[in-house]
């Protein structure tokens, strides 16, 4: 109990929070993009798992974390390609396909891992951190926020890049229109199917990257079902953020702190079931919804496949 | 999505009998051919990892369908799945995405597991079980009240709220098992075990739980209520077009709350029927996550109760047969997930192809 509020403990807690938040952030940003374009992407959990597995395999055999991130993103994108073909191009039910992809990838990654590594769980060496000079010297905050792998800073930068994309670029507007009034976008001469496909593929890449980070940096190994609902958390974050990337970041950090707190409590030997702490972020968000819940501003055409000329 | 698949033939002419038969035959073909295709695709995966697919499917069929013990296990597995499917049919037909089935299921299971062993000591067995069912249903209904109220009066999207409530519910169920209802007599955290003789009776001389009959009754009643009663019609109108429902003078908020209560109540009953009929207790961190597999099955059944029974049966055969085939052949049980996933995707694809074919013929 004595060490609970020491400087070291606190900065370790926050460091863990950031590490836990990054996969959620990437998944949330990805899901947000799909939802903006009108595709409810329930398969994101499967995309994360594909990313985690292929990301781990890539990093494990090449010895390069960056190559791992690349293969992870490619893995997520490959799953997203199936989703784009089935749900965007030929308009199958997004919930059926999404859940089917999640189930399938849960099974497939566990199966491949079994045949490849049997019951052993090889570890990757710890990821080397990029230390930001000066800022990392601040007590508590420095070691917590400024001694991470380079990809963490890139992920945070991506939040602002996404904000710019949605507000200032043609593609951002197209995405928004594809979700709100796809027919109008079509009339304006822009291919709705193509716009939505871009969104779904980007989602896959981001989710895959998130999964790869989770396995390679967060855990340092791959175990079956490693994402453990992170993709569904991403869906929750994206819906709560109402189209704003910055809110995804805040939400991811909130959940990250709670996830980190569960491990910290165990380390500190405090005798509360971890389930209690795992409930905290959801309780907080539910209370916020009850107090401030207003009509959610979801895209009008969310979940509805676009068919040209259909009424 | 259409509200209902209109009856294929009107009962005016004499050919209607043949037409209905042709329709049923067509439906059967549209189910069996895709499943065979899915088995071939999944078989290729098995071949790729060096397992004989024929041997695998042989075991699945033998243990899931043809062996006396296997088919009994399969039918027993169906009981909770049928309740879950019934709950989802109500919600989906009314256009509400209750994705919180697993949380409602687990809370129902835990409260049933806590109340049943205590109640059988003071009440006659049948009354005790009835009360446990009731408690499980009520708890799950209350659990769904927050998403229901938020959706009914604030318009908060129920996908987010039910997903969050399911995460909360899973954790809460664990907390209840570990801290509140823990059996002091065991080292592993679990609830008190309901003695086998006090559980739901088995059917005849078999090991099939009588929960199966309850589940069948539940899903058929739900189907009839949704298709044959004024209440069901109201719910379907809300699902098809909530604005039109308001204009038609329906009390949409009240109906919304009713839908959530019925849907969650049935999920709670699913938990209870699994505990009181089969498991006997709840271990900490027990979560079979049935909901995730049932949701797409209900969609593929087009929210038709009878078709859903068929899909639930298929899911049960695959999961029971897959478990034992995996054990015999040294494939991890995870392959069942892959198989179910491929079956779902191919069935969805087949429906699309069929739809397209009919459209082009009409045009």
Report pLDDT for B287: 84
| 8 Å CB contact of B174 and A289 | no
**In the predicted model, what is the mean pLDDT of residues A135-162?**
84
List Cα–Cα distances, B243 to A200, B89, B150, B246, B247, in angstroms: 30, 21, 18, 5, 6
Instruction: Tell me the per-residue pLDDT of A53-69, one tens digit each, with 9 for 90 and over.
Output: 999 999 999 888 899 99
Q: What angle do CA B297, B299, B301 make, to 5 degrees?
A: 70
Contact at 8 Å (CB) between A229 and B164?
Answer: no
Instruction: Tell me the per-residue pLDDT of A168-184, one tens digit each, with 9 for 90 and over.
Output: 999 999 999 998 888 88
| 8 Å CB contact of A276 and B171 | yes
Residue A146 lies in a domain: yes
CA atoms within 13 A on the CB side of B210: 10
Q: DSSP string of B90-143?
A: HHHHTT-----HHHHHHHHHHHHHHHHHHHTTTS-HHHHHHHHHHHHHHHHHHH
Residue A142 lies in a domain: yes
| 8 Å CB contact of B157 and A296 | yes
| 8 Å CB contact of B172 and A275 | yes
Query: Cβ neighbours of residue B237 under 8 Å, at least 6 residues apart?
Result: B3, B244, B245, B248, B250
Q: DSSP string of B286-303?
A: ----HHHHHHHHHHHTTT
* A100 closest CB neighbour out of B157, B174, B345: B345
Contact at 8 Å (CB) between A208 and A75?
Answer: yes
Residues of A in contact with B296 (CB under 8 A): 95-96, 99-100
Q: Which residues of chain B have pLDDT under 70?
A: 1-16, 363
Query: Cβ neighbours of residue B162 under 8 Å, at least 6 residues apart?
Result: B97, B98, B99, B100, B103, B144, B147
Residue A14 lies in a domain: no
Question: pLDDT grade, residue A123 (50/70/90)?
Answer: confident
Interatomic CA distance for residues B228 and B243, integer angstroms: 23
Q: DSSP string of A212-248?
A: HHIIIIIISS--TTTTTTHHHHHHHHHHHTTT-HHHH
Interatomic CA distance for residues A272 and A276, integer angstroms: 7
Residues of B in contact with A100 (CB under 8 A): 296, 340-341, 344-345, 348
Residue A304 lies in a domain: no
Residue A28: closest CA among A241, A218, A299, A284: A241
| 8 Å CB contact of B331 and A111 | yes
Residue A42 lies in a domain: yes
Residue A278 lies in a domain: no
Interatomic CA distance for residues B280 and B194, integer angstroms: 5
Percent of chain A at pLDDT exceeding 70: 95
What ipTM goes with this model? Answer: 0.87
Residue A4 lies in a domain: no
Residue with tokens 């009108």: A38
Residues of A in contact with B161 (CB under 8 A): 286, 289
Interatomic CA distance for residues A48 and A257, integer angstroms: 21
Instruction: Tell me the per-residue pLDDT of B204-230, one tens digit each, with 9 for 90 and over.
Output: 777 778 889 999 999 999 999 999 999
Judged by average pLDDT, the poorest of A44-48, A124-128, A247-251, B91-95 is A124-128
Interatomic CA distance for residues B131 and B139, integer angstroms: 12
| 8 Å CB contact of A100 and B160 | no
Report pLDDT for B159: 81
Report pLDDT for A214: 93
Full residue range of the structural domain in which residue A88 is found: 22-119+136-245
Query: Cβ neighbours of residue B358 under 8 Å, at least 6 residues apart?
Result: none
Residue A5 lies in a domain: no
3-state secondary structure of B283: strand
Q: Which two tokens stand for residue A167?
A: 């507000």
**Domain count of chain A?**
1
3-state secondary structure of A188: coil
| Gyration radius of chain B over CA positions | 21
Contact at 8 Å (CB) between A140 and A14?
Answer: yes
Instruction: Tell me the per-residue pLDDT of A256-281, one tens digit each, with 9 for 90 and over.
Output: 888 888 777 777 777 777 778 778 77
Report pLDDT for B352: 87
């Amino acid at each position: 109990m004595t060490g609970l509020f020491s400087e070291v403990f606190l900065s370790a807690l926050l460091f863990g929070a950031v590490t836990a938040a990054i996969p959620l952030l990437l998944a949330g940003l990805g899901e947000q993009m799909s939802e903006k374009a009108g595709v409810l992407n329930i398969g994101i959990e499967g995309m994360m798992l594909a990313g985690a597995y292929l990301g781990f395999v890539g990093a494990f055999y090449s010895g390069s974390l960056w190559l791992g991130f690349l293969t992870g993103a490619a893995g997520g994108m490959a799953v997203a390609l199936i989703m784009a073909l089935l749900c965007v191009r030929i308009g199958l039910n997004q919930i059926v396909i999404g859940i089917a992809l999640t189930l399938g990838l849960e099974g497939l990654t566990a199966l491949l891992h079994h045949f490849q590594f049997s019951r052993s769980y090889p570890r990757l060496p710890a990821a080397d951190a990029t230390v930001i000079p000066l800022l990392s010297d601040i007590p508590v905050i420095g070691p917590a926020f400024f001694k991470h792998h380079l990809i963490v800073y890139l992920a945070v930068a991506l939040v602002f890049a996404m904000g710019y994309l949605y507000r200032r670029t043609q593609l951002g507007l197209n995405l928004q229109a594809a979700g709100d009034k796809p027919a109008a976008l079509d009339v304006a001469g822009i291919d709705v199917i193509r716009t939505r496909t871009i969104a779904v593929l980007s989602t896959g890449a981001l989710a895959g990257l998130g999964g790869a980070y989770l396995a390679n940096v967060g855990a340092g190994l791959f175990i079956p079902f490693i994402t453990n609902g992170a993709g569904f958390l991403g869906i929750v974050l994206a819906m709560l953020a109402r189209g704003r990337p910055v809110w995804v970041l805040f939400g991811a950090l909130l959940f990250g702190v709670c996830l980190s707190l569960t491990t910290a409590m165990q380390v500190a030997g405090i005798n509360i079931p971890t389930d209690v702490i795992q409930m905290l972020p959801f309780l907080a968000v539910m209370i916020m919804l009850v107090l401030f819940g207003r009509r959610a501003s979801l895209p009008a055409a969310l979940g509805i496949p676009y068919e040209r000329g259909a009424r | 999505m259409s509200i209902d698949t209109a009856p294929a033939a009107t009962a005016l002419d004499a050919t209607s009998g043949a037409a209905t038969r042709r329709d049923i035959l067509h439906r059967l073909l549209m189910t069996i051919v895709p499943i065979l295709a899915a088995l071939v695709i999944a078989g290729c995966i098995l071949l790729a990892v060096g397992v004989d697919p024929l041997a695998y499917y042989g075991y699945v069929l033998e243990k899931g369908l043809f062996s006396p013990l296997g088919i009994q296990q399969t039918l027993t597995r169906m009981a909770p799945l049928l309740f879950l499917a019934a709950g989802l049919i109500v919600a989906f037909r009314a256009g509400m995405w209750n994705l919180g089935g697993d949380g409602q299921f687990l809370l129902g299971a835990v409260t049933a597991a806590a109340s049943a062993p205590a109640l059988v000591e003071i009440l006659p067995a049948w009354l005790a079980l009835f009360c446990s069912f009731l408690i499980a249903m009520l708890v799950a209904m209350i659990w769904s009240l927050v998403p229901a109220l938020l959706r009914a009066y604030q318009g908060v999207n129920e996908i987010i709220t039910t997903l969050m409530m399911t995460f909360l519910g899973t954790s809460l169920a664990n907390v209840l098992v570990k801290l509140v209802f823990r059996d002091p007599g065991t080292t592993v955290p679990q609830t008190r075990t309901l003695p086998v003789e006090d559980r739901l009776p088995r059917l005849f001389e078999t090991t099939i739980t009588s929960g199966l009959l309850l589940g069948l009754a539940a899903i058929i009643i739900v189907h009839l209520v949704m298709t044959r009663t004024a209440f069901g019609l109201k719910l379907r109108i809300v699902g098809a077009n909530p604005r039109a429902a308001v204009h038609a003078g329906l009390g949409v908020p009240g109906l919304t709350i009713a839908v959530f209560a019925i849907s969650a109540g049935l999920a709670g009953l699913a938990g209870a029927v699994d505990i009181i009929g089969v498991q006997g207790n709840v271990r900490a961190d027990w979560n079979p996550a049935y909901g995730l597999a049932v949701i797409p099955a209900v969609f593929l059944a087009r929210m038709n109760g009878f078709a859903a029974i068929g899909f639930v049966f298929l899911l049960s055969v695959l999961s029971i047969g897959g478990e034992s085939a995996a054990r015999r052949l040294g494939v991890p049980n995870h392959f069942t997930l892959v198989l179910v996933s491929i079956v779902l995707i191919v069935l969805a694809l087949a429906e699309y192809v069929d739809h397209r074919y009919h459209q082009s013929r009409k045009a």
